[in-house]
Amino acid sequence: MELFFEPNDQIAWDSLISVKNKHDNNSKNKSFLASSTGKGIADIDSNVLCAAISGKNALTSYYYMLNTNKRWRYTTPRRDLPILSTQMPSSSVSRVLIIGAGPTGLLMGCLMRDQGMPVTIIEKREEITRTRCVKLLGEVLSSDELTGGIHLFSENQVEERQKAIDSIQSTLFEKLTSWLELCTPLQTIQKSLQEYFVSSGGQIAIGAQYDISKNLDLLGHYPDTLIIDCTGYHSVLRNRIQPDNLNLRLIEYVLICTFTFDERYECNELCKYYKNKNTRKFRVIPAIDDTYKTGKRQTLVTCLITIDEPIFRAMPKRDLITYSYLKNHQRDIYDDLTIFLNNMSSGQLNKIHFDSMEFIALPLQVYRAKKITHKVVNQNLNQHWVLLGDAAMGGPYFQSISMGYEAAIYLAYIVQQMQNDMEQMMMKYESYMEKLWLALQIRSKDIQRNKQILQYLCANDRNAILEKIKVY
Ligand SMILES: Cc1cc2nc3c(=O)[nH]c(=O)nc-3n(C[C@H](O)[C@H](O)[C@H](O)COP(=O)(O)OP(=O)(O)OC[C@H]3O[C@@H](n4cnc5c(N)ncnc54)[C@H](O)[C@@H]3O)c2cc1C
C-alpha cells in the first residue's frame, strides 16, 4: 500500500465508480459533501468519507476526514480488487455515425466531414418531401446575438462559440448565410447540404432497412464511434439514454397550408395579424418573410391555422386536404382562410395557387430532453451517444432549425478539439445546451407576449392589452 497526502482536492469526482456504504450518524456533514460534489459518497466510519476510482493497473481510494478537513488517498494494485476491475473503455472515437438526414443531421455531417472525420449518415426515408419554407435566425452565425443582452453563457462558452463559427469552411458558411437572408424551402436546404456532404466524402445510407428504431442492433457494428441522434422530435435514442426523458410538453394542432402568390408579398410581426382582419374564428398566421422563385416575381407563402384537437382527430389523410375539401367539409376554416387571402392579396384570389395542405401536431413548448449524452459501457463497443436538433430540444415560433444549427456548429467544434476525451466533450455539450435552452426559453416568452399583445390589438381588447404590457 502506498500512502499520499493530498494538498488540495484533486479528486476527479465524475470518474468515481464505486463507493463503500456504511451507516453514519454524522448526516449533516455527509449531506453537505454529497451535494457539493454531486456524486455518491459514503463513509467508512462516522468521521471519514471514502470513495474509490479504478485506474488501469490500480484502484485508488480517497478518504476525507470530516473533523480535520484533511484528505488522503492510497493506491492498491487492481489484482487485489477483482470486483472493481472493469476495464475503462477508451474515451476517444475514430468515426461518427449520424442517425437521421434531417436538416440538423445533414449540417452536422458536413461540419464533421470538413474536419476530416469519417462520417456515415443513415436515414429511413427514401425521399425528401418537405415543402415548408424556413429562414435561419442571426444567432446561428453570430455570437453577439445570443440572448438579447442577457449573459447566460460563460465567457469561455462565448469564445468557443465564436471559434466554432470561425472554423466553418467558407463554402458551407456562404450557404448558411444565404439561408439567413431569405426564406428557403426546407427541401432546398436539405438537398444542398446532402450534395455538400457527399461531395466532401461523406457516406449516406438511405432506406427502410436503416430505420434504427426497428434495428437497434445495427449500432453494434460501430465500435469507437460517436453516435449522433438527429432523428427529430421522436428521437430513437432518447428513451434509451433515460426513460421518460422529455420535460413537459404541449401540443398545438394546426393546418399547415402553403401556396404561391404571383406578386411580391411582404409581411412583418404586426401586419400578419392585420391580415386577419374580419376573420371570425380561425386566425391564419403566415411566415413573416417572402421568397422569390428565380426569374419570376412570385412568393411562396407558408401559413399555420390553429385548430382544436377534435377537428384534428377527425381529419382524413393529408392527400385529401385541398381548398375545395375545406369548402365542403370545414366551412368555418375555409371562410376565414378566404378572408385572410383576400386581405393579403387585395382581392386578387386568382393570383394564389395552392401547393399543399396538411394537418399536423406541433410541439409548441420549448421542450428539452433532461439528459442528452450517454456513454455505452461495453468493453468491445466504446460508443458515445449524443442527441442533437429536435431530438435534444425544440422551440416554438420557427426557431427550432436555428437552434439545431447553433448546437451542431458548437458540437462539431468541441468534438474536433476534444476528440481524445469524449467524456469531457459530453460534459461541455450538456452544459452548453442547458444555456441554449434557457436562451430559447427567454426568446420564446418574448415572442409569445408580443404575439398576444398584437392579437388583443386586432380584437381591440384594450383591457387585455394593458394587462399584457409591462412597464419596467
Ligand atoms: C409545419 C412546420 C413548420 C416549421 N417551420 C419552421 C421554421 O420556419 N423554422 C424553423 O426553424 N423550424 C421550423 N419547424 C421545425 C423544424 O422543421 C424542425 O425543428 C426541424 O426539422 C428539426 O430538424 P432535425 O434534423 O432535428 O429533425 P427532423 O427534421 O425531424 O429530421 C429527422 C430525420 O431523421 C429521420 N429518422 C427519424 N427516425 C429515424 C429512424 N428510426 N431511423 C433512421 N432515420 C430516422 C427522419 O426521417 C428525418 O429525416 C417547422 C416544423 C413544422 C412541422
What's the mean pLDDT in 87-107?
Answer: 86
In the predicted model, is pLDDT for residue 412 greater than 80? yes
Residues 6+ apart with CB under 8 A from 427: 14, 373
Give distance in angstroms: CA of 405 to centre of ligand 1.
12
> Taking a C-beta distance cutoff of 8 angstroms, is the pair 273, 403 a contact?
no
| DSSP result, 37-104 | HTS--EEEETTEEEEEEE-SSEEEEEEEETTTTEEEEEEEEGGG-GGG-PPPPPS--SEEEEE--SHH
For the chain, list the domains and their CATH numbers: 95-245+370-449 (3.50.50.60), 250-365 (3.30.70)
Residue written as cell 410538453?
249
Which of 134, 217, 234 to mutate for ligand 1's pocket (most ligand atoms within 8 Å of CB)?
A: 134
From the CB of residue 162, how many other CB atoms can be counted at a distance below 10 Å? 14
- Tell me the per-residue pLDDT of 253-307, one tens digit each, with 9 for 90 and over: 889 888 888 887 777 766 777 888 888 888 888 876 666 555 566 777 888 888 8
- Tell me the per-residue pLDDT of 113-135, one tens digit each, with 9 for 90 and over: 999 999 999 999 988 777 677 88
Instruction: Decide: helix, strand or coil at residue 387.
Output: strand
Structure confidence at residue 11 as a pLDDT band (50, 70, 90): low
- Tell me the per-residue pLDDT of 459-469, one tens digit each, with 9 for 90 and over: 788 888 888 87
> Taking a C-beta distance cutoff of 8 angstroms, is the pair 89, 223 a contact?
no
Structure confidence at residue 420 as a pLDDT band (50, 70, 90): confident
Q: Is the distance from the beta carbon of residue 209 to the nearest atom of ligand 1 less than 6 Å?
A: no
What residues pair up with 246 in beta bridges, in sequence order? 369
- The Cα 141–Cα 44 span in angstroms is 53
The H helix count followed by the E strand count for the chain is 13, 19
Q: Output b/e per residue, 171-204; b: 16+ Cβ within 10 A.
A: ebeebbeebbeebbbbeebbebbbebbeebebeb
Protein residue closest via CA to atom 49 of ligand 1: 102
Residues 6+ apart with CB under 8 A from 271: none
Q: Of all atoms in ligand 1, which is nearest to the CA of residue 100?
A: 34
pLDDT at 159: 92
> Taking a C-beta distance cutoff of 8 angstroms, is the pair 264, 297 a contact?
yes
In the predicted model, is pLDDT for residue 380 greater than 90? no
In the predicted model, is pLDDT for residue 335 greater than 60? yes
Q: Is the distance from the beta carbon of residue 190 to the nearest atom of ligand 1 less than 6 Å?
A: no
Q: Which region among 95-104, 194-203, 252-261, 288-297 has the lowest average model confidence (pLDDT)?
A: 288-297
In the predicted model, is pLDDT for residue 200 greater than 80? yes
Q: Which residue has the higher pLDDT, 313 or 411?
A: 411
